[in-house]
Amino acid sequence: MISEIYYSPVYSGVSKQLNLLDFSFKNSNIQRLKSVLNKNSELKENKLVKFIERTYYYVKIAINKYSNAFSNHLYSQHALFTILAIKIYTKSTYREIIDFIDVSDIIKKYLRIKKVPHFTTIQKFFKRLPSKQIREINQLILTLNDIKADIIALDGSGFTNDYADKYYAKIRQKERKSYIKNHLTIDVKTRLILYYQTSRGPKYDTQFAKPALRQIKKYKPDYIVADKAYDTEPIRKCINEELKSI
């Protein structure tokens, strides 16, 4: 038997907005938790907790607790950055990761929060996060861990924040879009970023290659992996003679 739902005259007269509970559905956050874990079959609960612990630890050392002394101090930068890292780690959307954390008291305990932030709070934090802080956190991880990178990979990828479609760009005569290009050098085994550089506009990958190779020389790699964009004689010479690699 379905119980009747009563609304106050004032509320009903203005707007009668129903939610899932009005239709006897269970909490959607529980379903979100299951879907995230099912989507990432290799993701184990204890592995995720360990990831959260480490992320929070490194962020706590590298950046300040709050971005401004006059902010409301509702959420620390440590918690916001860790939530952002969990989002990327679990391959979730902003809405999904907030729903995911909302039903986990354990994660909230590790994040030192009682109330989960709105997903737009995470988006705004990511937007204003300086690349310098990301670099400092990455450098801290490399410093505190003894890394022996046998195989190192180089690659570059461009991205833009312009969401205009091709037709709109054509009629506006802006078919050639400016974009940011990110060049990464990673350890293939641990997937740690050993060196990265960001450039504006279209540039050849070879301009990034030599500085990157000289930065990773200290890791004494045996092999360097890259695509055809890096297949030039000067780069090969730098790999063979300076790094003593193949």
User: What is the per-residue pLDDT across 17-68, written as a single tens digit (0 to 9) for each?
Assistant: 444 444 444 445 555 555 655 655 555 567 888 889 988 988 888 888 888 8
Q: What is the pLDDT of residue 215?
A: 83
**Helix-then-strand count for the chain, H and E:** 11, 4
Residues 185 and 209: their CA atoms lie apart, in Å, by 9
Q: What is the pLDDT of residue 242?
A: 86
The percentage of the chain sitting over the pLDDT mark of 90, rounded to a whole number, equals 9
User: What is the per-residue pLDDT across 141-152, written as a single tens digit (0 to 9) for each?
Assistant: 888 777 788 888
Least confident of 139-143, 169-173, 221-225, 229-233: 169-173
Least confident of 48-62, 109-123, 130-144, 195-209: 195-209
How far does CA 230 lie from the centroid of its chain? 27
Given a cut of 80, whether residue 202 has pLDDT beyond it is no
How far does CA 201 lie from the centroid of its chain? 22
Q: Which residue has the tokens 């300086």?
A: 130
The phi, psi pair for 151, rounded to 5°, reads -125, 125
- Determine if the pTM surpasses 0.75: no
Per-residue pLDDT averaged across 101-108, rounded? 88
Q: What is the pLDDT of residue 50?
A: 87
Task: Please name the amino acid found at residue 27.
Answer: N
Q: What is the pLDDT of residue 199?
A: 72
Per-residue pLDDT averaged across 151-159, rounded? 80
Q: In 3-state terms, what secondary structure has residue 120?
A: helix
Task: Please name the amino acid found at residue 8.
Answer: S
Given a cut of 50, whether residue 218 has pLDDT beyond it is yes
Long-range (24+ apart) CB contacts under 8 A made by 47-51 are 48/86, 48/89, 48/90, 49/106, 49/107, 49/110, 51/85, 51/86, 51/89
User: What is the per-residue pLDDT across 166-191, written as a single tens digit (0 to 9) for each?
Assistant: 666 666 665 555 667 778 888 888 88
Nearest to 97 by CA among 120, 69, 127: 120
Nearest to 104 by CA among 60, 45, 58: 45
Given a cut of 90, whether residue 127 has pLDDT beyond it is no
Residues 140 and 199: their CA atoms lie apart, in Å, by 23
